[in-house]
Amino acid sequence: MNKPMRLFYALEIPEETRVELEKFGATLERPWRASNPKQMHITLAFMGEVPDNNLDKIIKAGEAAAAEISRFHVEISDTAVFPESGDPKVLYAQVAGGTTLAALAESLREKLGEFVDGKKFKAHLTLARSRSERARKVIRKFRGKWEVSSFALIKSTVNNNSATHEFIQRFNLK
């Protein structure tokens, strides 16, 4: 069929952390637009548009990466913005996951080969976006820590400047 699908691998955010992040998002002033808490995730590998006849290869890459990596902990902390200089466009929480988080992202990217985008992995959790030059940095510290026992392959469908996410498959770490 070769219908393109917009895919990415990501870590899911626990419900209790989502609730805290949703409360924070409600306090943001314009021009920040808070991320949908139900769709918050930590992207490990973004593939963009992939023809659906390659889905088996994408899933096999996830299975292989999951078989190599043990459970680990991640922690969110201070806020920061992209880009680091100039007008902020993305407000995010910094994510620490030690060498294991980076190893998981690298393993997925290596196994996905041509399918993965060329961007360097930077662990972060997007909290809000802005399309205005008036956006200011927002200083906030978060205290969220959880054990990662799996990651997910997600399909993203973009409609009218928003996206809906559909879970395709979860992969349990060894």
- Catalytic site residues? 41, 124
Q: Which residue, among 172, 154, 151, 164, has the nearest Cα to 8 in the 3D structure?
A: 154
Integer Cα distance of 170 and 24 in angstroms: 28
38 vs 40: CA distance, rounded Å: 6
Residue with tokens 């820590």: 145
For residue 12, what are its two tokens? 């899911």
Which residue in the block uniquely carries the two structure tokens 């890459």?
61
For 19, residues 6+ apart whose C-beta sits below 8 A from its C-beta are: 37
Strands of the sheet with 4-12, listed across from one edge = 41-51, 4-12, 150-159, 162-172
**Assigned token pair, 65:** 């990466």
Q: Within a 10 A sphere around the Cβ of 63, how many other Cβ atoms?
A: 12
